[in-house]
Amino acid sequence: MNNIFNLRRFSQLFIKHTQEYYKTYLLSVGVIVALLAAILGFISYVSDGNLGVKSQYAIFFFFFIGAGSIFTSMIFSELGNSRKSITMLMLPASHFEKYLVAWIYSFLIYQLVFTLSFYAVDLIVLMLQNSGTDEKMALLDLQSAGTPYGMALIAFAVLHGITFLGAVFFEKLHFIKSACLVAVFGLFIILINQPLANVILGVKLEKVVPFAHAAIKEADNYYALEPQSSIKPIMIGMTYTIVMILWIGAYFKLKEKQV
């Protein structure tokens, strides 16, 4: 077991990684904060102070998964440089410990830092916005049914799994190549989704959103088909199963790396 995971060795590796990259991470946080301030401030300005909860959630959602995917794609950037890869692979730590440090930073710590950064900026923008108007805009609530954190987390987890595997698999241009895979996979799903749903249900569907809902049109009326509440946990479980497979694949791909 000590050859796979040792708490003392792992903690030393985690501290070493933090000491080496904390300046880069702090700079990245500064860039995210600046972009969030610019976007939230601009939308608040052009909408005459009507930065509603839905707009806040849309910005949170796309920045959350977009910045997270870029950050994750660069977490194993040393592997693309022969000198840095030798140094990394020769560290007296197991592949699992190196993998775990990268996973914790790119998945857990990123979520915490991004959420805190977003709320810090959002709160300041709303305070400035609400100070000049009688109609006060509410702060985004990620526990609300209309703006759930769970939806953003599922999307981020899937993209994290793909970009995490891509960061290990590809030696160069990790993010671009991973993004191309996501685009090809998404296009494939869109192309086969409606014909497959028509065959399964035995009717011609007017509109089909992958993994979400479908609609049937009769005359001028639309009838939406929503999955039962008992089916949704199964769909979420299947999604996280795919994410786990991607994470496991990334680990075994990292194990193949040798000096």
Say whether pLDDT at 225 is over 70.
no
What are the extents of the domains in the chain? 7-172+229-255, 186-226
The per-residue pLDDT for range 140-182, each reduced to its tens digit, is 999 988 889 998 999 999 999 999 988 888 877 777 887 887 7
Higher pLDDT, 84 or 233: 233
Distances 65 to 202, 211, 220 between C-alpha atoms, Å: 36, 18, 37
Confidence (pLDDT) at 209 = 63
Confidence (pLDDT) at 58 = 94
Higher pLDDT, 220 or 21: 21
Least reliable range by pLDDT among 14-23, 35-44, 170-179: 170-179
Residue 248: band (very low, low, confident or very high) from pLDDT cuts 50, 70, 90:
very high
Q: In angstroms, rounded to a whole number, what is the distance separating the alpha carbons of residues 1 and 116? A: 36
* CA 236 distance to own-chain centroid: 15
Residue 192: band (very low, low, confident or very high) from pLDDT cuts 50, 70, 90:
confident
Say whether pLDDT at 214 is over 80.
no
Residues in CB range of 79: below 8 A, 6 or more apart = 85, 88, 167, 168, 171, 257
Please report the DSSP string for 62-122 in residue order. HHHHHHHHHHHHTTTGGGGSHHHHHHHHTSSS-HHHHHHHHHIIIIIIHHHHHHHHHHHHH
Q: What percent of the chain has pLDDT over 90?
A: 42
pTM attached to this predicted model: 0.85
Q: In angstroms, rounded to a whole number, what is the distance separating the alpha carbons of residues 47 and 52? A: 10
Say whether pLDDT at 195 is over 60.
yes
Higher pLDDT, 203 or 66: 66
The per-residue pLDDT for range 97-125, each reduced to its tens digit, is 999 999 999 999 999 999 999 999 999 99
Residue 234: band (very low, low, confident or very high) from pLDDT cuts 50, 70, 90:
confident
Q: What is the mean pLDDT of the chain?
A: 84
Residues 225-233: what's their mean pLDDT? 73
Say whether pLDDT at 74 is over 90.
no
Say whether pLDDT at 259 is over 60.
no
